[in-house]
Each structure stands twice: as structure tokens, then as C-alpha cells.
Amino acid sequence: MTELLGLTPDAARAAVVEWLAARGEPEYRLRQVLPRLWQRPVATWADATELPAALRTALADAFPLFRLTLATRQVSSDGTEKFLWTLADGEAIESVLIPEGKRRTLCISSQAGCALGCVFCATGRMGFRRNLSVAEIAGQVRELVLAAGTPKPTNVVFMGMGEPLLNWEAVDPTLTILNQPDGFGIGARHITVSTVGILPSLAKLARRPEQFRLALSLHAPTETLRRDLMPIEKKYKLPEVMEALKQFRRRVTLEYVLIGGKNDSLENADQLAALAQPIGALVNLLPLHPGGAPDLTPTGRARMIAFERRLKSRSVEAVLRRSRGLDISAACGQLRVEVLSRRKVGAQEHAGVE
């Protein structure tokens, strides 16, 4: 059996062509089969009713279609939707759908858990479980397309659980599936990879010809402060990471979570401006989601506005984002932690453990 949904569209096409030819099927069958993977996906081959029943049965035997299992879905009053998916081995991952006007941005995971241990992130606190496969990453988009009455996401961001560039072997072909016309056909400029700055894979992403967008999870403007918030600083130093951004022909976004009393002073804003201005970066200022790090304090609204204004006064384009999904478990990793904690408590109560 071959997992077509783990292949790029070109590789999937080659596998299906060879299989159809071996069966003696007419060439036009390819034009019926291939779109059912990503363009007009089906949950099972049995649903591809334009194909003969015998062919559908044979396809199911040769190319079973990978599915994610929806464990929990939460919907916020602001329209944000959080999905917790269960994988075949019992691991769980999250996706978040954020509607805004005509834009429907899907935030997807690339790993189960995360090894980086950023202090403001619930995923980092749970530790690393494993890398996701191509089918598991792309499947988060496919499941939403499959959902009845749900339009395809217009934008995809690798900002969910995990560090995408630590799973480059799977993220690389997934980018192709998301972008190619025979895949989901999402424009490269509508696909963003977020990274803390894994230098070897960053160089590989920069060499891709498509105009994929890059977002650097910065969150601190100095090496010392970044080391306190993000242990990865010990391996990939801030000056080296900022230098690596010059490989990209596209404009880079610097992601910056504002944490009360940690990285939100006007001096920090000046330091951040000194990094962003020379490379013409856009700065995304993000309020700390209280569900991601309950022991940290979100920056107050007035202080966030002052920080944004300070950056703009230094000729840096900055955007102060608003928190989404505050009434649901929308922080990265939060829903997985909560659900698994409830399961653990339930199991202990069932066993009589106190």
C-alpha cells in the first residue's frame, strides 16, 4: 500500500499513472482520481462516485486515504475555531482557524509537542513527542476542506505546535502540496513558515524558488533576554539568525510576544527597532495569551500601544495584533494539555487514585 497523501502531487501522479496502467485503465481515469486527493478531496474512495465501484474498491486497497480523528472542537465568540486531532498512535495535535473578513487563516502543527521550551508557550512546556508525517501536516488542511460547507483556508501558517524547521524533511514536501495547483493551490505568499531560527533548515527554505513567507519568532531584542525566554538562543545566536534573514528575497516578519515586565519597555522597543529597521522587517506585536503561560503577566494595553508607537517613531512598520479565542483554549498547546490532563484525572478517579 502507498500513502498518496504523503507524496507531493508530482510523485502521487507518477504512482497513480503506473498503477492505472498496470490495471489497463484508460488514461482519463488519472484526471478523475488525482483531484480527489487535494483539489476536491474525498473522505474515502467510496465517495468518488464518478468512478466504477470495482475501481473504487481497488483504490481503497492500494491507496488508503489517511484521516485525522477530531477529538475536540471549540468555537470562540470571535469566530476562532480550535481543533484537537488524535493521531493513529494516540498522540494529539492542534490546528486553529482564524476568520478575518474574507481571509480564513489556518494555523497548523508540524510536531507533536516541542523540544524548544520557550517559557511563554504551552507546547514548549509539554516537551517533544515526535515529528509529524507529511500526511499528518497536510491532513490538517485536508480535514477542513472535507468538512461539509467549509470553504478552503485562504492562508496557512506553520505556527501551531512544534518547530517546523526541526521537521524540514516533512515540512518541505508539505509546502509543495499546499502550493501546487494539483495540491491545495494556495498561493506561496499566503503560506507562512514560523521559526525560532534553525539555521541549516533556514538556508534550505531560502533556496526554494517560491515566495513563501517567513516569520521569525524573536520575542526578545538582545541575546541575554532571548536566552532567558527561549533556550534555543544557546545554540543559534541572535546575531547569526538576523544575518541569516538576509538570504530571503521576501520581506521577513518578526514575531514579538509582549510579556509584562520582561520585554516590553521602551528601551526594548528601541533595541527591537535596531534589529528590524536595517532589514525592513515587519514587526508583529502579539499580546501574551494567558492560557499559554499562566505564571507570566500580559502587557497592559496602554503599554503595548506605547511600544508600538515607539517602533513606528523609529521608522519600523509594526502591527499590534489582538488576542483571538480568549474564551476558548486557543493558546498553542493549551487545548491538548487541558484535554490530556482531564483524561489523566479521570483515569486516576476511576482507579481510585487521589
Q: Name the residue among 99, 42, 86, 78 with its Cα closest to residue 335.
A: 86
- How far is the C-alpha of 84 from the C-alpha of 72, rounded, in Å? 5
Parallel, antiparallel, or unpaired for β 213-217 and 191-195?
A: parallel
Which residue in 25, 94, 136, 233 is the catalytic one?
Answer: 94
- How far is the C-alpha of 43 from the C-alpha of 105, rounded, in Å? 22
Angle at CA 60, nearest 5°, toward 54 and 66? Answer: 160
Question: Residue 332 catalytic?
Answer: yes
Strand order in the sheet with 103-107: 69-75, 81-86, 92-100, 103-107, 155-158, 191-195, 213-217, 252-258, 282-287, 318-320
Q: Which spans in 163-315 are helix H?
A: 168-179, 199-207, 223-229, 238-244, 266-279, 301-313
Q: Which spans in 90-162 are helix H?
A: 122-126, 134-146
Question: Residue 240 catalytic?
Answer: no
109-144 exposure pattern, b = at least 16 Cβ within 10 A, e = fewer:
bbbbbbebbbbbbbbbbbebbebbbbbbbbbbbbbb
**C-alpha cell recorded at residue 135:** 500526511
Burial grade of 293 (CB within 10 A; 0-12, 13-18, 19 or more): buried
- How far is the C-alpha of 346 from the C-alpha of 63, rounded, in Å? 38
Q: Name the residue among 352, 298, 351, 342 with its Cα closest to residue 322.
A: 298
One-letter amino acid for residue 185 of the chain: G
* Residue 48 near residue 4 (C-beta atoms within 8 A): no
* Residue 13 near residue 182 (C-beta atoms within 8 A): yes
* Residue 236 near residue 197 (C-beta atoms within 8 A): yes
Just list the catalytic residues: 94, 332
